[in-house]
Amino acid sequence: QQQVKQSPQSLIVQKGGISIINCAYENTAFDYFPWYQQFPGKGPALLIAIRPDVSEKKEGRFTISFNKSAKQFSLHIMDSQPGDSATYFCAATYFGNEKLTFGTGTRLTIIP
């Protein structure tokens, strides 16, 4: 059972544009939502994470928006650059749960 649904599967954005990746979850117990970035041939690496006590978290060009009532969260990449081309995974868990549930991933390509 896929508890975290991620869309789109792939995304092409022009350089300087805004990239938006969406995730929806089912388990209302989830209270920690990280995003991981993976470059080809590498392991995923934590990019940014949010807990539901805030509706938005920003780190540089990367922003997580969180909508608790809709059980959705999204990653926004402002001023997208070719170096942002990677696969992005959303994930979710809750305190005391030793398992991280990942979305299916979004392959992002930034074109000049």
43 binds other proteins (CB under 8 A): yes
Q: Is 99 an interacting residue with respect to other proteins (CB under 8 A)?
A: yes
The footprint of other proteins on this chain (CB under 8 A) covers a number of residues equal to: 25
| Contact residue for other proteins among 25, 34, 62, 84 (CB under 8 A) | 34
Binding mask 51-90 for other proteins (x = CB under 8 A): --------------------------------------x-
Nearest to 66 by CA among 22, 11, 10, 18: 22
SS3 (DSSP) at 83: helix
Q: What angle do CA 97, 73, 34 make, to 5 degrees?
A: 45
Torsion of CA 3, 74, 41, 93, to 10 degrees: -40
Task: Give me the residues that bind other proteins (CB under 8 A), please.
Answer: 6, 9, 32, 34, 36, 41-46, 49, 89, 93-100, 102-105
